[in-house]
Amino acid sequence: MTALTTRFRNHASLLVGALAVAASTLALPSPAEADVLGDLAGEFEGALASGNVGFALLVIFGAGLLTALTPCVYPMIAITVSVFGARQAKSRAEGAFLSLAFVLGIAAFFTPLGVISALSGAGMGELNGSPWVMGPLAFLFVAMALSMFGFWNMNLPPALQTKLASVGGQGYKGAFLVGLVSGVVAAPCTGPVIAVLLGYVASTRDAGFGALAFFIYSLGLGTLFFAVGTFAVSLPKSGKWMDGVKSIFGIVMLVMAIYYLKAFLPLPRPDVRTTEWLLVPGVLAIGGILLGAVHLSFKEGSVISRARKGVGVLATTAGFLGLIFWSSALPEGAHIEWMTDYSQARQAAETSGKPLLVDFGADWCGACNEIEHEALADPRVVAEAQRFVPVRIDLSRNEAERWDLLKHEYDQMGLPFLAMHGPDGEVDHRITGLVTADEFLEMLRSTN
């Protein structure tokens, strides 16, 4: 598995969840089809395991395409295409090249953001476990969700929008420059989506993937512009349906806000994937959408209609958050029954004469999650670990006492970290990086 695949897979559930929100609003499944997210997650992880990130990039492309359907972008498509001259092109080929220059201008605006985000994310480390970092980030997502639902407007002054839209004039250079500034013009609707993508790319800490992700997003955002400029496609008129698209993004924002606070909130999360954990959030998500999470509005209608919208949004958010937790859990039979109290585990190992397996981890630690879903989920490892006393120390909340245990007891400053103590109490093996299931199994077997 490549480094890109390894990092990308740690956040697969978030992308699958975001895709499921959008997909469910377009074609509502019946309750009997509620396990579609599991199939989707399985296909996603299978693609990544084979080194293919195409499916995940398709999700990002879809996010760009959905952004183009929002009220900040969609009404401007025909006007913008006319500004850079694609509608007046002498041939379809000329219109295609002008439109391509426009899309590349969009990419030139967004792609550097991916590189900067990935590079800046490399130093986040333990900050991801601090409520002083995650709290404001979650608040930002909630604020952007409220803007998507119409509670407040995040708009540029009309005069500035008009001036930016006319930058460059006609021709290939003009088309490129118009595309370059279109990201600013569309900021009210691209901003929330970009914020999610920035946070995601920062967590991968991969500048190459950051550039690729934002380039793919730019292609999605520019697809309708290219179609209109090249083929003179007549788009449907603007209408209430665009508010539905914004509601989709608003729900995604709320899911992300709660997800970033999951380490600090008493949210129930499954250790393994069970039917009950799939059924309950699936019903909530579908029921919330049917109730009005997407098609109703907070800005108009009766009090009852707005109340339905609010209840629907809450139910859909809770449902998709639960589905994300389910998809990120381990399959049944691939879970080690961990103790959580280090002192008790150490005492139990000494009393029983068994070896001790210690795992320090955190939700925000990508390598920890990779070890959890690869090496520790291997059936052979699970079986061999039964002769150990296993204890897991969760550092997700950045608690000083638990960090002191890692630093003083094991002289280790960061994650990931696992230790295997023999029956005599001495550390036989230390793991401070990614390890395969075969390597982990060999270390377990040699700890006697």
Domain locations in the chain as residue ranges: 3-328, 342-446
Least confident among 119-133, 186-200, 281-295, 301-315: 119-133
> Could you tell me what percent of the chain has a pLDDT over 90?
24
Q: How high is the pLDDT of residue 157? A: 53
Least confident among 34-43, 102-111, 133-142, 183-192: 34-43
Least confident among 53-67, 212-226, 330-344: 53-67
Sign of CA dihedral 39, 41, 42, 48: positive
With a CB cutoff of 8 Å and minimum separation 6, the contacts of 368 are 360, 361, 362, 415, 416
In CATH terms, 342-446 corresponds, of 3.40.50.1110, 1.10.8.60, 3.30.70.3000, 3.40.30.10, to 3.40.30.10
As a whole number, the mean pLDDT across the chain is: 76
Q: Could you give the CA distance from residue 308 to residue 282 in angstroms, rounded to a whole number?
A: 18
- Residues 184-191 have a mean pLDDT of 64
Statement: residue 150 has pLDDT above 70: yes
Statement: residue 49 has pLDDT above 80: no
- Residues 280-297 have a mean pLDDT of 92
Least confident among 159-163, 201-205, 253-257, 325-329: 159-163
pTM of the complete model beyond 0.85 = no
- Residues 142-167 have a mean pLDDT of 65
Statement: residue 124 has pLDDT above 70: no
Q: How high is the pLDDT of residue 203? A: 59
With a CB cutoff of 8 Å and minimum separation 6, the contacts of 404 are none
Q: Could you give the CA distance from residue 377 to residue 405 in angstroms, rounded to a whole number?
A: 25
Q: How high is the pLDDT of residue 167? A: 52
Q: How high is the pLDDT of residue 84? A: 67
C-alpha pair distances (Å), 414 with each of 217, 396, 406, 418: 33, 13, 8, 11
- Residues 184-192 have a mean pLDDT of 63
Statement: residue 52 has pLDDT above 60: no
C-alpha pair distances (Å), 347 with each of 341, 343, 350, 426: 10, 6, 5, 14
Six token digits for residue 384: 């061999």
Q: How high is the pLDDT of residue 276? A: 81
Q: Which pLDDT band, with edges at 50, 70 and 90, does 339 fall under?
A: very high
Q: How high is the pLDDT of residue 286? A: 93
- Residues 340-365 have a mean pLDDT of 91
Statement: residue 105 has pLDDT above 50: yes
Q: How high is the pLDDT of residue 373? A: 84
Q: Could you give the CA distance from residue 362 to residue 359 in angstroms, rounded to a whole number?
A: 10
Q: How high is the pLDDT of residue 388? A: 96
Statement: residue 428 has pLDDT above 90: yes
